[in-house]
């Protein structure tokens, strides 16, 4: 006899955006070389965060054409890693930032790092967020009324 079990609701998936972590020598002009290479191929950096140590730096970037950038990095033997981030549109930063962080906190989603986009998709501020659980974060933020931006929405 089959069991009559309640059905679970399906999770809400939000759009995720590719982020590249580029490993650079800690020297003058290293970031400029990357930007020049991308611009020469009509690809743009739409978000940027750089953290450095004594010997190297890691540039976290979101670009307008991730597939093209991955090919370029391979062609030029540039060391990089790829992960996915959630990009959240903020209509009113002062009030929505606390709501965003509180929503993630209540869902026990750990925020690893954030940084703003250099561009203003749809004319509003946007924040790239790297979390330990993108599916849960997407579901929670969509449920809280936030607009998650896709790669096509942030590309120029």
* Model pLDDT for residues 96-123, shown as the tens digit of each residue: 999 999 999 999 999 999 999 998 888 8
| Host domain of residue 114 | 84-154
The pTM (predicted TM-score) of the whole model is: 0.85
Q: What's the domain count of the chain?
A: 2
| 72 backbone dihedrals φ, ψ, rounded to 5° | -65, -45
CATH of the domain at 137: 3.30.70.260
| CB-neighbour burial class of residue 43 (10 A; exposed 0-12, middle 13-18, buried 19+) | buried
Same domain for 130 and 115: yes
Closest by alpha carbon to 145, among 16, 14, 10? Answer: 14
pLDDT over threshold 50, residue 8: no
User: Could you report how far apart the first and last alpha carbons of the chain are, in Å?
Assistant: 57
Nearest to 37 by CA among 92, 77, 7, 6: 77
Helix (H, G, I), strand (E, B) or coil at 130: strand
Domain check: are 36 and 91 in the same one?
A: no
37 plus 47 within the same structural domain: yes
């Amino acid at each position: 006899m089959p069991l009559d079990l309640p059905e679970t609701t399906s999770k809400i998936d939000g759009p995720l955006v590719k982020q590249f972590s580029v490993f650079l020598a800690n020297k003058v002009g290293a970031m400029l070389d990357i930007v020049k290479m991308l611009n020469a191929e009509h690809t743009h950096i739409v978000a940027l965060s750089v953290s450095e140590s004594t010997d190297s730096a890691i540039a976290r970037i979101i670009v307008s054409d991730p597939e093209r950038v991955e090919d370029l990095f391979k062609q030029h033997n540039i060391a990089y890693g790829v992960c996915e981030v959630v990009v959240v549109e903020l209509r009113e930063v002062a009030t929505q930032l606390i709501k965003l962080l509180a929503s993630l906190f209540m869902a026990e989603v750990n925020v690893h790092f954030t940084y703003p986009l250099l561009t203003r998709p749809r004319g509003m501020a946007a924040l790239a967020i790297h979390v330990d659980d993108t599916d849960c974060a997407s579901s929670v933020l969509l449920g809280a009324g936030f607009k998650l931006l896709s790669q096509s929405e942030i590309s120029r």
